[in-house]
Amino acid sequence: MSTVSLAASDPGAAVRIDRLFLGLALGATAILIALVLLDQQPASAALILGGFGLGVAFLKAEFSFTAAWRRFLTRGEAGGLLGGLVVIAICALAVVPVAALTQKYGGAIAPLGPSLVIGAFVFGIGMQLANGCGSGTLYTVGGGSGRMLVTLLFFVIGSVFGSLSLPAFLALGGVDPVLASDYFGAWGGLAVTLASIAFAAAIIIAVARARGANYLPSRNYLIGGFTIGLLCIAVFVAGGHPWSVTFGYTVWGAKAATALGFDLSHAAFWQWPGPKHALSESVLSDTSSLTDFGMLFGAMAAAAASKPFAATAWPPVKSILAAGIGGLLMGWGARVGFGCNIGAFVGGVASGSLHGWIWFLAALPGCLIGIRLRPLFGLSRD
């Protein structure tokens, strides 16, 4: 499938660079940057570059929210979860005070109610079946995974159905967003947010120690978490809001549906100002899509430059089925639950929004169900 091959059978042999895919990734990124610069949108170029860096960082660090959560739930290992909290803490240093002190920037906030809980729970099931979350799906597709390409396709489809479902779930009621900075001010809100992260870390470590499991993040997760956190700040500065992944998928699906003759313009979700603008304008005007494209090509470039690209065989049919079902569940859940691990959990907590923690607590039991379902599709519970 790829022009990359090992120089010898020795596992330590150097991997030849896949010049074709490396050139495609760099060329596509350059074209996207040129297009937005011609439209006099330097911030959009920065978003593409930020996404590119995120793709490289995730792939090189093998940073996986899905695997980290599964290892914690099945073995008690906490290193991966703590690596994720490193990302959130670094991101919060910029997002909480800047969003509170300026009108130009905003945080990732969402109401508290059935929609949030149900969406997160369903997303948790899907992420374990798919073996990847929103960001994980994107960077593994960029890294050459055919299985995750199936997940991405169904993720996009599920996102559109989720956009049609969201208004009905919002009608069930709920509580307005709860933001730390609204109660404690910019710097007090930051202190409360960092304290909540430290408290969560203490609980996670206590659980790991009680189960006799490792709770220290690996070098990859520490370096990766620090790097990803800084890149999240860069994306926040360029885009005006925290990094989001799955809204881009929803826009892609809606545009594809429109091209196939479906009229979504009368649906309630697509009449709201943000979605309405995204549906009517180019995908290059959508900040989530820009970082998504950058992440996809960044992961592709990193994979082509450092390891065999798309060199693995396709998995069994049952595994492909799990990828499709997981993608559908994640797409629907992300839209109904206001985002994925990135947009809802990382972005929400880093904004000092209570919904981020509620999303996390609702997604965990969903993950447990997903883990129990994995063997039905030939997937390991570990």
φ, ψ of residue 32 in degrees (nearest 5):
-60, -45
Let me know if residue 343 belongs to a domain: yes
CA distance 188 to 100: 11
DSSP secondary structure, 319-340, as one string: HHHHHHHHHHHHHHHHHHTT--
Confidence of residue 3 (pLDDT cuts 50, 70, 90): very low
Say what the pLDDT of residue 15 is: 55
Contact criterion met (CB below 8 Å) for 121 and 365: yes
**% of the chain with per-residue pLDDT over 90:** 81
Let me know if residue 63 belongs to a domain: yes
Mean model confidence pLDDT for the chain: 91
Say what the pLDDT of residue 168 is: 95
Residue 275's domain comprises 19-32+40-377
Let me know if residue 145 belongs to a domain: yes
Residue whose pair of structure tokens reads 């979860």 in the numeric block: 81
Mean pLDDT of 159-163: 97
Total domain count, the chain: 1
Mean pLDDT of 77-100: 96
Tokens linked to 231 = 């890149």
Let me know if residue 365 belongs to a domain: yes
Name residue 175's beta-bridge partners. 112
> What are the angstrom distances between the C-alpha of 294 and each of 46, 47, 81, 290, 342?
10, 8, 25, 6, 16
List pLDDT tens digits, range 324-338: 999 999 999 999 999
Let me know if residue 382 belongs to a domain: no
Let me know if residue 100 belongs to a domain: yes
CA distance 57 to 223: 9
Mean pLDDT of 249-267: 94
List pLDDT tens digits, range 300-326: 999 888 765 666 667 889 999 999 999
Say what the pLDDT of residue 143 is: 84
Let me know if residue 322 belongs to a domain: yes
Return the number of other C-beta atoms located less than 10 Å from residue 364's C-beta.
Answer: 15
Let me know if residue 71 belongs to a domain: yes
Confidence of residue 7 (pLDDT cuts 50, 70, 90): very low
Confidence of residue 381 (pLDDT cuts 50, 70, 90): confident
Instruction: Pick the closest to residue 346 from 140, 53, 100, 69 (CA basis).
Output: 69
CA distance 199 to 167: 34
List pLDDT tens digits, range 286-298: 999 999 999 999 9
Taking 90 as the threshold, does the pLDDT of residue 183 lie above it? yes
Instruction: Pick the closest to residue 303 from 20, 68, 46 (CA basis).
Output: 20
What three-state secondary structure class fits 179?
strand
List pLDDT tens digits, range 106-142: 999 999 999 999 999 999 999 999 999 988 898 889 8
